[in-house]
A = this chain, B = another copy of it.
Amino acid sequence: MMRLLLVSSSIQHGSGYLEHCADAMTSFFDGCTRIAFVPYALSDHDGYTAKVRARFEELGMSVVSVHEGDPIGTATAADGVFIGGGNTFRLLKAIYDTGLYDALRSRVADGMPYMGTSAGSNVATATICTTNDMPIVNPPSFTALEFVPFQINPHFIDADPTSTHMGETREVRIAEFHEESRRPVVGLREGSWLLREGDELELQGATGAVLFRRGKPSQELAPGADLSDLLVTE
């Protein structure tokens, strides 16, 4: 049974690192003691690992980073995996370059719980085509781990009607995506996350989300919304 915890952002304004989703994490990783961490979205792997390790230890789990030894062996031997945020392009390129792509696909299909935040949530979806990040490196493909058949836009933010900036709003960017693709996009506000337990998918957290489908009006989603239909490919 596939198990996913896909969080919009590791920090919600006003709280600490992985604090707002701590209860969901401890419940999700119940019974796991050894978590494999994938630090590749940031350049400072050691520093990132130290931060993540400290937080997971507070929650009763030990962390081994895939950069500290053989990445595939580390990921394969762990009880669960956590991929943190940073730059999505850099992260996906490293997932391909290290061979973690197939290893993660295999283990998560077998039921290893997978948690991602921000870029780590982007790479769990069909493609990275709805990331907000700058394309600082070019991965071999935009195809991501495909644990779900839809897209996530993390850090989703509603348009500011008072803004004088002429750059595209998030809605306009997602509309441009839908000029090129039929895949639904879940705009996950900071403070929200998706929990997948097998065939069930639920929106959790405090801030809700917006569902964008090609050719349809966007739809506000309240915390607790059942999104299991998004797991069924049309």
Contacts and interface: CB of A to CB of B under 8 A. Distances in A.
Q: In terms of DSSP, what is the predominant structure of the interface of chain A?
A: loop
Given A177-B136, A180-B90, A9 B166 contact: yes
Size category, A interface: 35 or more
Contact of A179 (B128, B136, B166, B180): B136
Interface stretch (A98-106, A137-145, A213-221): A137-145
Contact of A136 (B14, B133, B165, B176): B176
A13 interface: yes
**Number of identical monomers bound together in the oligomeric complex:** 2
Contacts of A179: 43, 136
A176 B93 CA distance: 15
Nearest to A153: B134
A204 interface: no
Nearest to A128: B135
Contacts of A2: none
Given A86-B176, A134-B174, A155-B166, 14 more contacts: A13-B164, A13-B166, A14-B164, A43-B176, A128-B135, A129-B134, A129-B136, A129-B137, A134-B173, A134-B176, A135-B142, A136-B180, A136-B181, A137-B180
